[in-house]
Amino acid sequence: MTTCAECDFVYDLAQGPAVPALARSYADAYAELLEAEPTVLRRRPAPLVWAPLEYACHMRDVLLVQRERLLAARRYDTPVAEPMGRDERVEHDGYAEQEPADVARQLRDAAMLFAHSLERLSAADWERTLIYSYPERTERSLSWLAVHTLHELRHHLLDMRRQLHHSEAAAAPLRRQEA
């Protein structure tokens, strides 16, 4: 994948060193969205589509998992990045029942930890590799891992914004009727 057709993200590996600041900024944007009404944050628009809170929890966990993958690639030659079980985590960790303010804080902390690990990479470290299973099992550099994580942050923030905007638009006629 070089460009995401849905969010127009371009995988530019030269962008790697900018990811720490961008990850922190995205975490702040997620935290702002998590100030919405908790019932709206927990509402799924369709049975198989995550709720905004679930996307935020997913991103918190992605940042933590990606940090561990990065650290493993610095310790070992070409480690395998096992799938994180993203769909199972939604249910196993009870994403929709978590407190939005807690998730906002945890997401900022996860972004800070991920960013700190990226900032410690030397020029040679950015080229260290791991075996990554997405979108197909292949060897990827830490530059790619950083940029891919940035794509995840951007893409799911867009998902959250769409859902929250849709919820606000759907609620507007009801508010007018109540007035």
State how far the Cα of 41 lies from the Cα of 10, in Å rounded to an integer: 28
**Does a structural domain hold residue 37?**
yes
Q: Is residue 161 part of a domain?
A: yes
Whether 7 maps to a domain, the answer reads no
Confidence (pLDDT) at 175: 47
Task: Count CB neighbours of 28 within 10 A.
Answer: 13
Of 12, 67, 50, give the one whose Cα is nearest residue 160: 50
d(CA 155, CA 5): 11
Strands across the sheet containing 129-132: 80-81, 129-132, 138-141
pLDDT for 145 equals 98
pLDDT for 80: 97
Structural domains of the chain, count = 1
Sign of CA dihedral 9, 54, 162, 30: negative
CATH number at residue 103: 1.20.120.450
Residues 51 and 96: their CA atoms lie apart, in Å, by 7
Which domain does 132 fall in, by range? 13-178
pTM as predicted: 0.92
Alpha helices in the chain (DSSP H): 19-33, 38-42, 52-75, 86-92, 100-119, 142-178
Tens of pLDDT, residue by residue, the chain (179 residues): 689 999 999 999 999 999 999 999 999 999 999 999 999 999 999 999 999 999 999 999 999 999 999 999 999 999 999 999 999 999 999 999 999 999 999 999 999 999 999 999 999 999 999 999 988 899 999 999 999 999 999 999 999 999 998 877 666 544 445 55
Is 8 domain-assigned?
A: no
Q: How, if at all, do strands 129-132 and 80-81 pair?
A: parallel
Tell me if 5 is assigned to some domain.
Answer: no
Instruction: Give CA–CA dist 69/2, Å, rounded.
Output: 21
Residue 33 domain-assigned (yes or no): yes
Whether residue 122 lies inside any domain: the answer is yes
Is 39 within the bounds of a domain?
A: yes
